[in-house]
Amino acid sequence: MTIMIDEINSQPKVLEKVLAKSRKGVRDLCREVRERKIELIYIAARGTSDHAAVYAKYILEIHAGIPVAFAAPSVITVYGGKPGLQNALVIGISQSGKAEDVLEVLRHAGRQGSLTAAITNYEDSPMAKEAAYHFSCMAGEEKSVAATKTFTAQMMIMAMIAAGLSGGGELMGELETVPAKISEFLADFGVPDRIVNKYKDMQECFVLARGTNYSIALEGALKIQETCYVRAKAYAMSDFYHGPLALLDTSIPVFLIAPGGLTDEGNMEMAGVLSGYGIETTAVTNDAGIKGMVSETIWVPPGLSDFTSPFVTAAAMQLFACKLSLAKGLNPDNPRNIKKVTITR
């Protein structure tokens, strides 16, 4: 068994720890956001952490009603720009907590008196020390180069902040079901070897999703890229119609992340388009209506909302990428050319 699979399987316990131990910090941060009448949330992140930020944008804007913007760190680190962030909550997200460019965004915000928070896997990291609030992923050392457990931990912390700012307990109640739902997927569903073997010679693919699961399309494509060396490209379904649709070809498979929820109509429409063009499509879904329209299905448990399904679809795409890497004769724990900690400015 690979380290990556071990770390995928550890996610329910990691998320239970995050849910249990992050509540006070989240409560204190949310109180200060309200007291300071924060009008903007500004997030700096790279790679996998940036995809957690995409999930955060959806859930924070929907539940907290506060606009979320993504930092372009080079505005500060390369061009010397000084964006005004005085009335913003500035959040830096990094597994290692050593991302120099993200750290510089936090420093810039701190000099302006902004409210700052960091989400990292290390309490003693530079970002953890710089921010006014630090939230730990509580994942233990993540040994596989491809991030798995820290990604869903970052998502959970951001979702807890959204729940705290929403003023209601409904979202928090949904989040508390997530560890059990991931466990259910891993134990009772998983990714069939038949599907993995079908794609072991794949060299390129598209990964599509709508709404909150767009973050998982991005992350799923990244996992396929870094562990399998496949040219995987992610799109929001709505954007895919605006040009990339011309790239559809029967030689290029599509992975459609389409669990049931408020995006059902868009999911079904895209499944119909792909079917009409004869595209080999695998859906990550719990919607029986999708099954008859696609070539293959990776089933996820029922009873997921738009805000909880991304945790389970993330596990599904992680597991698919890991198993595909092994089927290709590769080592998913140690992909070529990349390191666990990447420093950019």
**Residue 339: predicted pLDDT:** 60
- 189's tokens: 């569903």
Selection from 163, 199, 290, 311 nearest residue 237 by Cα: 290
Cα angle for residues 327, 311, 344 (degrees, 5° grid)? 75
pLDDT beyond 60 at 342: no
**Residue 93: predicted pLDDT:** 98
Q: How far apart are CA 53 and CA 132, in angstroms?
A: 19
How do beta strands 296-299 and 231-236 pair?
A: unpaired
What are the phi and psi torsion angles at 52 (to 5°)? -60, -35
Spatial neighbors of 234 by CB under 8 A, at least 6 apart, are: 206, 207, 208, 209, 214, 217, 218, 220, 221, 222
Spatial neighbors of 272 by CB under 8 A, at least 6 apart, are: 293
pLDDT beyond 80 at 126: yes
Domains identified in the chain and CATH numbers: 3-176 (3.40.50.10490), 183-327 (3.40.50.10490)
Cβ atoms of residues 325 and 135 within 8 Å: no
Residues 291-304: what's their mean pLDDT? 95
Q: Of the given ranges (43-52, 189-198, 224-233, 331-340), which has the lowest mean pLDDT?
A: 331-340
**Residue 344: predicted pLDDT:** 59
pLDDT beyond 70 at 134: yes
The DSSP bridge partners found for residue 44 are: 92
Q: pLDDT tens digit string along 245-275?
A: 999 999 999 999 999 999 999 999 999 999 9
Per DSSP, the residues of 216-258 read HHHHHHHHHHHHH--EEEEEEHHHHTTTGGGG--TTS-EEEE-
Average pLDDT of the chain, as a whole number: 95
Q: pLDDT tens digit string along 138-172?
A: 999 999 999 999 999 999 999 999 999 998 789 99
**Residue 343: predicted pLDDT:** 53
Per DSSP, the residues of 145-192 read SS--HHHHHHHHHHHHHHHHHHT-SHHHHHHTTHHHHHHHIIIII---
pLDDT tier at 340, thresholds 50, 70, 90: very low
Q: How far apart are CA 290 and CA 150, in angstroms?
A: 30
**Residue 334: predicted pLDDT:** 86
